Amino acid sequence: MRILPVLCALLLLMLQGVTGLSPPRASAQDCERRGGFCSHRSCPPGIGRIGLCSEQEFCCRMRWYP
């Protein structure tokens, strides 16, 4: 019974590397496909953040997008 928590911890560590559990890496093309645009550091006022274009750029889009 003492080995069960150790096995659970090992399983969680192994699953962290699985692509489905890590944050998705987006690109400018993905952002444009979603109807947005890339903005450096923050989105303009009145525009919502919907994802990431890179580490320092956010994918932004109008809040009321059809």
Total count of domains within the chain: 1
Element housing 32 (H / E):
helix 28-33
Write out the residue range of the structural domain in which residue 34 sits: 25-65
Q: What is the pLDDT of residue 28?
A: 86
List pLDDT tens digits, range 15-51: 665 545 445 566 889 999 988 999 998 898 889 998 8
How far apart CA 28 and CA 33 sit, in angstroms, is: 9
Beta-ladder partners of 58: 39, 52
Q: What is the pLDDT of residue 22?
A: 47
Q: What is the pLDDT of residue 2?
A: 82
How far apart CA 31 and CA 51 sit, in angstroms, is: 8
Evaluate whether residue 38 is within a structural domain. yes
**What is the CATH classification number for the domain harbouring 60?**
3.10.360.10
Rg (CA), the chain: 18
Evaluate whether residue 16 is within a structural domain. no
